[in-house]
Amino acid sequence: MDQPTTVFAGPASLRLGAEVCEILRTAPAIYECRRFPDGEIQIDIQASLRGHDVFIVQATSPPVEQHLMELVLLADACRRSGAGRLTAVIPYFGYARQEHRHGRRALGARVAADLIGTAKFDRLMLIDAHTPSIEGFFGVPIDHLTAIPILAHAAAPSVRSNTVIVAPDFGAVKRARAYADLLRLPVAFIHKTRPNGAEVVAHEVIGNVLNRLPLIVDDMLSTGATIEAAIIALRAAGALEPIDVVVTHALAVGRAREVLRALPIARLIAADTVAIAPPEIPHLEISSVAPLIATAIRRDHRDESLADLRAPA
């Protein structure tokens, strides 16, 4: 495209957006985000965008509702400022775990997708969303990117001849196989149930972990309950310790820090898809997805293929 490229670092992704701009050798677009005493948010763009190819980097991480509203208002301000094409780069998409309807519950993923749809983006970029089927909730094209190669590279120095990749539940098996292919390791997985949003029960380990060093891989770490249940099951199955954990999104909410501090974890490797607030997360090592996003933006602007950057189907 001949139009100039403009990148906004949204309020939820200021540091990540700035790193993306540094790689692209451009400055983040200037805007003002005001919050009024009644809690309302107002976005004011500080430069002309007429005809520009605009990318907004904004995770919808906690507080999810606030960051969703900031994303939609930023998009509306860009549209009203004459943006030629508008793309949302959402490193972490909140509400993705509410993709199934149970009883009379709301379908949160669809509601969040519909809200984003009101901003009239031309395209979306997501990174390791909870499930690839989330794309079906959106009415615009999606580039579903993956941080797995970046995270596998970060984990590689700890890999030993007796390391085994462990998926903490059935939903993470495809992701575990992607790591296993990159690191040339066997795979095991855990049969897990979740009685409610905070409690996790691991029933059995499927695969050989006896006298092996587990490398647990998942898309996100929320309260730490899944990791805790997985480690309890691995101990019972005779796995060795300490254990490495790799996740894309380190939300670390609720009791997560307390839980992680008590577990035999040597390394907790995560991407910087969400901004991590103090206090420090135990064992945490960050791998940046800024190069991934910058590459995707550069190629998208040039109408080049992103096939090798996409998540496993």
pLDDT one-digit tens code per residue, 214-267: 999 999 999 999 999 999 999 999 999 999 999 999 999 999 999 999 999 999
Confidence at residue 103, expressed as pLDDT on a 0 to 100 scale: 84
Confidence at residue 278, expressed as pLDDT on a 0 to 100 scale: 86
Confidence at residue 194, expressed as pLDDT on a 0 to 100 scale: 60
- The 10s digit of each residue's pLDDT in 103-136 is 888 999 999 999 999 999 999 999 999 887 888 8
List the domains of the chain with CATH numbers: 5-147+290-309 (3.40.50.2020), 148-287 (3.40.50.2020)
- The 10s digit of each residue's pLDDT in 182-215 is 999 999 999 866 655 555 666 689 999 999 999 9
Share of the chain above pLDDT 90, in %: 85
Residue 46 has pLDDT above 70, yes or no: yes
Three-state helix/strand/coil letters over the chain: CCCCEEEEECHHHHHHHHHHHHHHCCCCCCEEEEECCCCCEEEEECCCCCCCEEEEECCCCCCHHHHHHHHHHHHHHHHHCCCCEEEEEECCCCCCCCCCCCCCCCCHHHHHHHHHHCCCCCEEEEECCCCHHHHHHCCCCEEEECCHHHHHHHHHHHCCCCEEEEECCHHHHHHHHHHHHHHCCCEEEEEEECCCCCCCEEEEEECCCCCCEEEEEEEEECCCHHHHHHHHHHHHCCCCCCEEEEEEEECCCCCHHHHHHCCCEEEEEEEECCCCCCCCCCCEEEECCHHHHHHHHHHHHCCCCCHHHECCC
Confidence at residue 192, expressed as pLDDT on a 0 to 100 scale: 63
Confidence at residue 201, expressed as pLDDT on a 0 to 100 scale: 66
**Please, what is the average pLDDT of the chain?**
93
Q: What is the mean pLDDT of residues 70-84?
A: 97
pTM attached to this predicted model: 0.94
Confidence at residue 199, expressed as pLDDT on a 0 to 100 scale: 59
Confidence at residue 267, expressed as pLDDT on a 0 to 100 scale: 97
Confidence at residue 9, expressed as pLDDT on a 0 to 100 scale: 98
Q: What is the mean pLDDT of residues 31-51?
A: 95
**Active centre residues (catalytic):** 192
